[in-house]
């Protein structure tokens, strides 16, 4: 997912239903120890809305209008629950969030690797249609060298490739040592919900 796709999502997939998935891969987990350092490097959220103009229950076609007045039609597939709960004037809301987080653990707590996961949910039977999707990828790497003079650390992943990282705050390197394990987690989340007419 990318920020630029939020318009496409609200335009063609706002009412799509989804099924749960299990994590794609799970390398050796980190030991149960408190991280030396952790935090969020970057995080941003984008929200888009569209108002329901009409619903053809037989054809499962929903006509919506964006805030700028442009209209589009969504055909809800058989996997979409609770279509009968939608009413004219209801507002479909899509919220997209992406973030990059880091966590540093002591040497020997885990081996380098890549962890991917996907969590998908949809509205319960009887409620308003809705769904959420959260995808994350964690790159687990080992610190092989630290240069406090240039505020840089070299990280090596399971593929053996070296990555030089520039640290914005040099003081953060004071708690990091060669051999420590660094997790960089990239997360993207998309949530679709429907609000009743007149509730906004």
- The 10s digit of each residue's pLDDT in 163-200 is 898 888 888 888 889 999 999 999 999 998 888 876 65
Give the pLDDT confidence of 10-34 residue by residue, as tens digits. Answer: 333 333 333 334 444 445 555 555 5
Please state which of the ranges 39-43, 87-91, 102-106, 126-130 shows the lowest mean pLDDT.
126-130
Higher pLDDT, 37 or 149: 149
Least Cα distance to 135 among 79, 190, 193 occurs for 190
pLDDT greater than 60 at residue 45: yes
Cα separation, 179 vs 158, in Å, equals 14
What six digits make up the tokens of 24?
């794609």
Give the pLDDT confidence of 107-162 residue by residue, as tens digits. Answer: 888 888 999 999 988 878 777 778 889 999 999 999 999 999 999 999 999 899 99
pTM over 0.75: no
What six digits make up the tokens of 110?
């885990």
In three-state secondary structure terms, 96 is strand
Cα separation, 64 vs 62, in Å, equals 6
């Amino acid at each position: 997912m990318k920020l630029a796709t939020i318009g496409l999502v609200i335009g063609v997939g706002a009412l799509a239903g989804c099924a749960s998935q299990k994590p794609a891969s799970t390398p050796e987990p980190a030991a149960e120890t408190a991280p030396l350092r952790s935090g969020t490097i970057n995080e941003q959220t984008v929200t888009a809305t569209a108002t329901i103009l009409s619903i053809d229950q037989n054809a499962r076609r929903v006509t919506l209008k964006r805030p700028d007045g442009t209209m589009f039609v969504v055909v809800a597939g058989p996997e979409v629950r609770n279509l009968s709960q939608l009413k004219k004037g209801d507002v479909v809301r899509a919220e997209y969030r992406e973030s990059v987080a880091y966590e540093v653990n002591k040497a020997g707590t885990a081996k380098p690797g890549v962890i991917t996961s996907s969590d998908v949910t949809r509205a319960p039977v009887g409620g308003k249609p809705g769904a959420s999707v959260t995808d994350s990828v964690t790159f687990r790497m080992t610190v092989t060298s630290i240069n406090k003079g240039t505020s840089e650390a070299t990280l090596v992943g399971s593929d053996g490739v070296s990555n030089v990282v520039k640290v914005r705050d040099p003081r953060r390197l004071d708690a990091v040592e060669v051999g420590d394990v660094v997790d960089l987690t990239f997360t993207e989340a998309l949530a679709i919900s429907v609000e009743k007419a007149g509730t906004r």
